[in-house]
Amino acid sequence: MQLEATRVDIGTSRPLVLLNTVDAAELGAHPLDRVRIEHDDGTMTGIVKRTDELVAAGSIGVTEPLHHVRGTVDVTLAGPPRSVRYVRKKLDDIELEADELETIVRDIHENRLSDVELSAYVSAVYTNGLSLEETKHLTEAMSGVGQRLTWETPVVADKHSIGGVAGNCVTPIMVAIVTAAGLTMPKTSSRAVTSPAGTADVMEVLCDVEFTIAEIESIVAETNGCLVWGGGVDLSPVDDEIIRAENPLSVDPPGQLIASVLSKKRSAGSTHVVIDIPYGEGAKVESLVAARELADDFKRVGDHLAVDVSCAITHGTDPIGRGIGPTLEARDVLDVLESEGPESLRLKSLRLAEMLLEHCGVDASSTEILESGQALERFRRIVAAQGGDPEIEATDLEPGAESTTVHAARSGITTRVDNRQLCDLARRAGAPLDSRAGLVIHRTVTEQVEPGDPLYTIHAETPTKLAEAERLADELEPVRVRSKADALVERR
């Protein structure tokens, strides 16, 4: 069928084609079917949507990935991509071969799967699991697409946290310590997806984080490290697509998690990686046994890829540090580097840095590097290399001026400081987009409190956002106080 191509933007990055209902019927094309589009410069495939209004009969609307398709084109029905068969196979709980996983990864990368098919892949992997062999093949396939970084030093240090802990901004401190010890640590980090601040959001308070590969190489040549946004360098990009389908379902199957993390590390050219696995109630991994299994699988897949992996199982039930939100976490980071800072952040950073140094075979004391000021000095050089002000101090960082403090209503012990509720609250206050929005936690878990003691403070940049966060705070109870004497919580 001959149709006239017109561009449309309907808020998607997939190659969709909009057909008028009349043309779709004539072609026998149902929603989610594929059509082959032959145009002057080649052949493309698009996924069908039908419309009565947006596109007139005789025309075909094409979304962004097909925007180079112009003029009169020949449209015919096409079958589904090969990977749909393999998704179906995984739904049938049959182990996938290396080339089948590679086809799935390629089709996801080239946006060939519809949401229904992508979700079926995620659901199949979640419910039937991935074997160790499959995870290895998937990791290789995922690191086979996108860009690849290479470094001249034989040892390239890296770290990753599987996430879920509020305020857990250990990365800048670790990079400062490890690079000060002479190792290369070119760290690429993400921005927040569902959390109030990713490491990239925190660093952006202090300096630029978006750089080209050439710029990153020059920053690393100058300082041994960097703290940049990974989205700018397209490492293992299939991960982002998979996460898009995992998020609405709140699933994060272990095999897929390992493949996502290690494919990124391999593409980043990392040789020695410490993986932080927080576990406990409300964390991604709920039990110590599950954390150990995950750690072992991380190491096995790492071996297969010749990436040296070491895992730190950590406490994942309550936040690390005092601040939550970009500016407040940046302040904690500087506080630790300058002097004492919040103890939980300081200790976790030291322990993980120590592990990474040892893992890389470097005999240096992270405590000494931190306490002597070498880490701070190195951090300032990185900030300067990334276009920031190296003289900035913790006290220069002001959180949002609109604030409310929530106080204890009774005396007792803090029995729970809830990561998820704190994250929701910080986001409602405006984080990460309003970088000075967020929370300051005044009490950690198992502390004695008296009525009127401050539990946490909400900061926002505008009165509206503060009001919204206050409304949510009334519904939640992120810091729970319980008295042993109180069988009854309240009467109303």
From candidates 36, 68, 106, 244, binder to its own copies by CB under 8 A = 244
Pick from 389, 483, 392, 469: nearest CA to 430: 469
Residue 51 exposed, middle or buried by CB count within 10 Å (0-12, 13-18, 19+): middle
**What is the smallest separation between the CB atom of 427 and its own copies, expressed in angstroms?**
6
From candidates 5, 8, 105, 320, binder to its own copies by CB under 8 A = 8
From candidates 41, 42, 71, 92, binder to its own copies by CB under 8 A = 92
- β-strands 272-279, 157-161: how paired? parallel
Which tokens belong to 468?
Answer: 């919204």
Q: Which stretch binds its own copies (CB under 8 A): 10-18, 164-172, 232-240, 368-376?
A: 10-18
Establish if 290 lies at the interface with its own copies (CB under 8 A): no
**88 or 300: CB nearest its own copies:** 88
From candidates 4, 10, 289, 373, binder to its own copies by CB under 8 A = 10
**50 or 322: CB nearest its own copies:** 50
Cis peptide leading into residue 172 (ω within 30°): no
Establish if 22 lies at the interface with its own copies (CB under 8 A): no
Which tokens belong to 400?
Answer: 């949002």
What x/- string results for residues 46 through 85 when contact with its own copies is judged by CB under 8 A? ---xxxxxxx--------------------x---x---x-
**194 or 287: CB nearest its own copies:** 194
Which tokens belong to 52?
Answer: 């009565």
In contact, 469 and 428? CB cutoff 8 Å: yes
DSSP 8-state symbol, 113: S
Site for its own copies in 105-134 (CB under 8 A): 114-120, 122-124, 126-128
What residue type is assigned to position 341 of the chain? G
**What is the smallest separation between the CB atom of 41 and its own copies, expressed in angstroms?**
23
Which tokens belong to 452?
Answer: 């009127």
In contact, 267 and 148? CB cutoff 8 Å: yes
**What is the smallest separation between the CB atom of 254 and its own copies, expressed in angstroms?**
14
**241 or 358: CB nearest its own copies:** 241
Cα angle value 111/116/118 (rounded, 5°): 45
From candidates 248, 361, 387, 463, binder to its own copies by CB under 8 A = 248
From candidates 287, 433, 448, 482, binder to its own copies by CB under 8 A = 433
Which tokens belong to 74?
Answer: 């020949």
Report how far apart, in Å, the C-alpha atoms of 123 and of each of 91, 120, 438 are: 8, 5, 34
Establish if 440 lies at the interface with its own copies (CB under 8 A): no
Pick the catalytic residue: 33, 158, 239, 252? Answer: 252
Q: Who contacts 285 (Cβ-Cβ below 8 Å, separation ≥6)?
A: 162, 277, 278, 279, 291, 294, 316
Pick from 99, 100, 143, 160: nearest CA to 124: 100
What residue type is assigned to position 478 of the chain? P
Establish if 38 lies at the interface with its own copies (CB under 8 A): no
From candidates 212, 247, 287, 415, binder to its own copies by CB under 8 A = 247
Establish if 95 lies at the interface with its own copies (CB under 8 A): no
In contact, 437 and 461? CB cutoff 8 Å: yes
Rounded CA Rg of the chain:
25
Q: How many of the chain's residues bind its own copies (CB under 8 A)?
A: 53
**55 or 309: CB nearest its own copies:** 55
From candidates 94, 193, 409, 489, binder to its own copies by CB under 8 A = 193
- The packing angle between helices 98-109 and 132-143, to 10°, is 40
In contact, 445 and 417? CB cutoff 8 Å: yes
Establish if 26 lies at the interface with its own copies (CB under 8 A): yes
From candidates 132, 213, 251, 445, binder to its own copies by CB under 8 A = 251
Q: Who contacts 31 (Cβ-Cβ below 8 Å, separation ≥6)?
A: 48, 49, 50
CA–centroid distance for 392 within its chain: 27
Establish if 463 lies at the interface with its own copies (CB under 8 A): no
From candidates 165, 180, 245, 422, binder to its own copies by CB under 8 A = 245
Report how far apart, in Å, the C-alpha atoms of 453 and of each of 404, 457, 481 are: 13, 12, 11
Establish if 182 lies at the interface with its own copies (CB under 8 A): no
From candidates 36, 88, 148, 410, binder to its own copies by CB under 8 A = 88
Half-sphere exposure of 471 (CA within 13 A, CB side): 7
Establish if 11 lies at the interface with its own copies (CB under 8 A): yes
Q: Confirm whether 335 is a catalytic residue.
A: no
**What is the smallest separation between the CB atom of 138 and its own copies, expressed in angstroms?**
18
Q: Which stretch binds its own copies (CB under 8 A): 19-27, 229-237, 369-377, 439-447?
A: 19-27
Establish if 32 lies at the interface with its own copies (CB under 8 A): yes
Q: Which residues are at the interface with its own copies (CB under 8 A)?
A: 8-12, 18-19, 25-26, 28, 30-32, 49-55, 76, 80, 84, 87-88, 91-93, 114-120, 122-124, 126-128, 193-194, 244-245, 247-251, 427, 433, 468
Catalytic residues: 252
